[in-house]
Amino acid sequence: MKRYAAHEFLETQEALRSKHAEIEQHGLFAEMAQDPQLKNMIISHQQLIMNGYQQGLNLLMGKGVNVGVMPQLPQMRTTEQTMVGLQQPQMPPPNPQPTRLSDMTISTLMLNCHKAGSAVGMLRAGECVDPQIRQYHVNGANLCQQLAYETWQYMNAKGYYQAPQLADHTMNTMINAYQQQPPQPQQPLLF
């Protein structure tokens, strides 16, 4: 059995626990989803998470895993354009006693889970000294940000998550506050 530093081993155990919970959570989400497009996306995400879970187990068990290759995500099959700006946003009141989650709530929980997974995955990677364990966490973080973006695209197309836009004059004022860096003279290389 390969020896790992305690902190990277514990971080990887935590990642596996999180993936375990996400697999079950996505299973519940798939059962509750009303929109077939959302259900298909959930099942696809669940499969990718299951692959990551198995890869992590294999890595810790020394079964020779290639973590240098990031899995490719399937292309999202929406035809709607990404909307920037607010188009009459409406938010229904929360239901404190639901018997079933709405598609908006399911996709919001998925988005939050994937965004958190991306941030935490990079923090985990930064704690690792073994190159394969480190790359495993980097790949997991990158996968999470891709899944978060796909989830956001779905939410945006359905009007669940609109992206506010600043007025042009506000953006121009903010951009113009920055100054170009002056050209730097070439420094001779010292050998």
134-164: per-residue pLDDT in tens?
999 999 999 999 999 999 999 998 989 887 7
Confidence band of 104 (pLDDT split at 50, 70, 90): very high
Per the DSSP assignment, residues forming a β-bridge with 84 are 163
Q: What is the pLDDT of residues 157-191, one digit of tens each?
A: 898 988 777 888 888 888 888 888 888 888 777 76
Give the model's pLDDT for residue 189.
Answer: 76
- For residue 69, what are the contacts with CB-CB under 8 A and spacing of at least 6? none
Q: What is the pLDDT of residues 52-102, one digit of tens each?
A: 999 999 888 887 666 665 555 555 444 456 665 556 667 777 778 878 999
Nearest C-alpha neighbor of 34 from the set 122, 126, 158, 150: 158
Q: Are 150 and 167 in contact (CB under 8 A)?
A: no
Task: Let me know how many helices (H) and strands (E) the chain has, helices first.
Answer: 5, 0
Q: What interhelical angle do 36-60 and 131-158 show, nearest 10? A: 170
CA dihedral 57, 135, 73, 27 (to 10 degrees): 30
Per the DSSP assignment, residues forming a β-bridge with 129 are none
Mean pLDDT computed over 31-38:
97
pTM: 0.81
Residue 108 pLDDT > 80: yes
Phi/psi at 88 (5° precision): 45, 65
Residue 45 pLDDT > 90: yes
Q: Are 163 and 153 in contact (CB under 8 A)?
A: no
Give the model's pLDDT for residue 86.
Answer: 55
Residue 117 pLDDT > 90: yes
**Helix H or strand E encompassing 128:** none
Nearest C-alpha neighbor of 70 from the set 11, 121, 123, 13: 121
Give the model's pLDDT for residue 68.
Answer: 60
Phi/psi at 75 (5° precision): -70, 140
Structure tokens that stand for 105 in this block: 């709530």
Q: How far is CA 168 from the centre of its chain?
A: 30
Q: How far is CA 16 from the centre of its chain?
A: 16
Give the model's pLDDT for residue 79.
Answer: 44
Give the model's pLDDT for residue 65.
Answer: 63
Give the model's pLDDT for residue 70.
Answer: 54
Helix locations, 33-130, DSSP H:
36-60, 103-126
Give the model's pLDDT for residue 25.
Answer: 97
